[in-house]
Structure 1
Amino acid sequence: MDSMPYIFAGLVGFASLAVSLLLALRRLKTSEERIATAVSRKQAQVERIRKVARVTLRQARDLRDARRRKAMAELGCEDLEQRLKAAGASDRRIYVLDDRRTQKDQGWLLRVVNIEYGSRVNSGLTTTALHSWKRGRRFLVWALDEKKAREKLHSRFPENKGFTVMGAESYLG
């Protein structure tokens, strides 16, 4: 019976080794789960960063395109303003004398000039408006013929106040 205490000590040692091994396996499993969770969180974070980077790059490209379009639009506006100034855009205005018309009436464009508008009619006008009367203003008049159109215009802008019709043409617009 001498070997009994050794067997008991061996069994206790084996039991403690088994318990230690089970605890170590449990810790290992917990560590593996934590590592797997950390790896998946890292992968999700990497995907979010990539998505944000793609969006940022697209926004940067859109911003560059928008700035380029803005610059082109500004150049176009400047070009258009210069062309309008060169073409004398204020001379291209058409004033409508009267909208009343019949089915048989035609449109007539009559150019009216009054060089002395400031002294004979209205001295309080701006310089630009006075120049437009000196250059001539175009009026759209609805009438049966050119003679009736001139009569309508002279009733509104009489010759005794310095108004002169410089030209008449049929309005097709």
Structure 2
Amino acid sequence: MTITLAIDTSTSRTSVAIIEDGSILWSGHRDGATEHGPALPSLVQEGIKGFAIDEVVVGMGPGPFTGLRVGIAFAQSFALARGILVRGVCSLDAIAAQVDEKDFIVTVDARRKEVYWARYKDGVRVGEPAVSFPADVSGAPIHPDLYPDMKALVALTGNIIEPMYLRRPDAVATADRK
């Protein structure tokens, strides 16, 4: 019996759940695209009371740089401090698990009037996630504005080790400016 701390900060929602063998023991979320930093430790502190966590699963995006960094750094630090496994998975795949269609696209807000998106056929992602303007995303029914299903996040088998940043950072080192 494995007790998992599940974390996702790839969307405007900070989501945390405690899951044991496919059953949610506790879950909570806070909305706010800039609230990941204060929301995440508060949610985890509330959620882990009385549980011995065996592993951490974290959504690796795609998502905005700061939100992803908060969730991934927290997950890695939490796991390192306890000497437990941390596993990263694609957040869009955890969203797609909620859709019951054969061919579809999921999108989430990428800000700057763009969306992060991926296409799925028979529940399997086709290609890599992308960032585009909404008008440029077509070819199948689109499911926008969903949040990752935390049970699905834990059930996914992937082990992504690098954040899925689909844009170059806004910040540029002084030496690299032209």
The normalised TM-score by structure 2 is 0.21
Normalised by the length of structure 1, the TM-score is 0.21
Higher normalized strand content (fraction of residues): 2
Larger Rg: 1
